[in-house]
Amino acid sequence: MKAGLSKPAKVKTPDQAMAEFHRTGKSVSSWAKEHGFNTNMVYGILKGERKCLRGQSHRIAVLLGIKDGVIED
């Protein structure tokens, strides 16, 4: 790999992200509250009901690791 190039991040499936919640014993609701997101929106993303193209759904997907992306403030 050339210098300055980074490997793409390994992206999880929504099922893998949900399994991570089960493995760690953390609830989706508590994760959502910690990050300032609506719990229903997080569940919608994990169920594949949202495209996660921009805004909060994009941020949630990136933080969950189910989308390779950049979060800009």
- How many domains are contained in the chain? 1
8 assigned to some structural domain: no
Q: Which residue has the higher pLDDT, 55 or 1?
A: 55
Instruction: Give the pLDDT mean for 6-17.
Output: 81
Containing domain of residue 24, as a range? 14-64
43 assigned to some structural domain: yes
**Per-residue confidence (pLDDT) for residue 73, from 0 to 100:** 74
Contact 67, 46 (CB under 8 A): no
Separation of alpha carbons 15 and 66, rounded Å: 9
List, for residues 18-45, the tens digit of each pLDDT value. Answer: 999 999 999 999 999 999 999 999 999 9
Burial class (CB in 10 A: 0-12, 13-18, 19+), 20: middle
38 assigned to some structural domain: yes
Instruction: Give the pLDDT mean for 46-67.
Output: 94
1 assigned to some structural domain: no
Where does the pLDDT of residue 9 fall: very low under 50, low under 70, confident under 90, or very high at 90 and above? low
pLDDT of 13 > 90? The answer is yes
Contact 61, 7 (CB under 8 A): no
Instruction: Give 3-state DSSP helix, strand, coil % of the chain, rounded to 5.
Output: 50, 0, 50
23 assigned to some structural domain: yes
28 assigned to some structural domain: yes
45 assigned to some structural domain: yes
